[in-house]
A and B are shown apart, each in its own frame.
Chain A
């Protein structure tokens, strides 16, 4: 394993772009082109990174050439690289969508630089190998998300940003506290070194379980698991659609990734308490998510609650902690990031056409908008996990892993709730797209929606390819899971023993 500057590029490219963009905030067309170009460059860099990791194994970069436990080390294993690639693709699609939808006023007030800063935070959080550096990248990401949430300054945005900010300030403080406790036990901040030190401690003292639960609370607040999801339906309802897509697709998944990382790298020795708790919380999270998604008649709320359901499914696989269930979780995580971004972009187009997000106020969109209808239909059945599409393999492996470990109740619940997920998105299809042509909303000609459809179609196409090409993706996912299941691979790559 040798040093590789490629690891830092998915963080560096958006960072440099953000800094450059800040100098000419009023030149909107230049802002647009530079952001689109830079995000495309980030995608290319991420593809190269995935390729390098798949050929040469885990890539590490000791910043400033300080050897591993003493400096900050950036680590790209396959899971990180895949998540960075997914993030970059979503970033590209959302920036493309923003050009035609976010509005000139927001664009003139640093919208694109802040989006790039958000990507810096997310890519950094996925790549870092240092627990305190993870905190810093969390803050980069959160700070950008506060500003994106409130940018525009409408009443609902101000109101919800106050709540979102309060919740995240508290969870950030808890993160600092958890790091302080962990540092007092192991005396190091490098994640591989922490794992090594924890493994050396004999008969697991209870304090490590306490710290594990503290980390679960911290990342659970970021990732919206039961009972820490309460802030999410309100906060994600407030911002404009592209921001909603970024937050919904990326932010909660960073919390999930952090749970997967800490629970597979640090706290895997005594799973009886921590993983059992995670299992129960995951199943309840799924239930809360589906109850919300079938209860509401608002398209935004339906998709927001579907995020919560998906988080539950991914965490369920992580809590089972077998190779099968972990593979399922990684498959499902990547699928869910793409399909949630696509669904948010699609309902954004619906809201633009109809002028409302209330499902009871429009119908018959299929008559005027057949392409939109069928793209939405494919996205909806992908989300529910109908066999050839992308949601299937992940959920199937998660359930198989659960059954294999004798967790029948949880697996059956996830299987049944898939039907309710399907019902919730088909409700939008049946009530919104079917039926008589509705003349309440503006004529087809007066609404420019075709350019908005392009990024949504890109994402749905990637998701379809991901579903049909799951055999092609399998070696990558299995390499990611191998590192998750065998922490010594990670430790060896970082500490170079």
Chain B
């Protein structure tokens, strides 16, 4: 199971890298989305995918899955959600102000002389 997940995560990282290297800002944002999906799935996988009960208090005392990676992912998800929301608004504002979403046209040469 871990092998399958590793291949899937690798595919997500490859797609994210490809999209991040493109010129359009919107494609870059989609790339960051895929990148964080890959990272979150990686935490889950590296925490171990052994079978066990849902990590809720149970009276029977059956073994549960590792709850720690799930808490880490939950934290990482809200953080990347916040950053992505900021990035989208930033891209929207930049499109209004700068009139382009092409990274090639956003070169900076200030102070270069």
Could you list which residues of chain A lie within 8 angstroms of chain B, going by C-beta atoms? 132, 135-136, 139, 143, 146-147, 150, 153, 155-156, 158-163, 165-166, 169-170, 172-173, 176-177, 179-181, 183-184, 189, 234, 237-238, 296-298, 300-301, 357-358, 360
Contacts and interface: CB of A to CB of B under 8 A. Distances in A.
Main secondary structure, interface of A, reads helix
Contacts of A153: 93, 97
B95 to A, nearest CB: 10
Given A136-B79, A159-B106, A170-B20, A165 B111 contact: no
Contacts of B111: 237, 296, 298, 300-301, 357
7 contacts: A146-B86, A146-B90, A158-B93, A158-B97, A169-B83, A172-B80, A173-B32
B82 A166 contact: no
B113 A298 contact: yes
B89 to A, nearest CB: 10
A402 B88 CA distance: 47
Interface residues of B, number: 39
Contacts of B45: 180
B8 interface: no
B72 A132 contact: yes
| A-B pairs, 3 with minimum CB distance | A298-B111, A184-B46, A176-B39
Contacts of A150: 90
A320 to B, nearest CB: 33
B108 A159 contact: yes
Given A136-B79, A170-B20, A183-B43, A296 B93 contact: no
B36 interface: yes
B36 A237 contact: no
A237 B94 contact: no
A165 B32 CA distance: 10
Given A132-B72, A176-B39, A183-B46, A166 B112 contact: no
B14 interface: no
Contacts of A165: 83, 86-87, 90
Contacts of B69: 180, 183
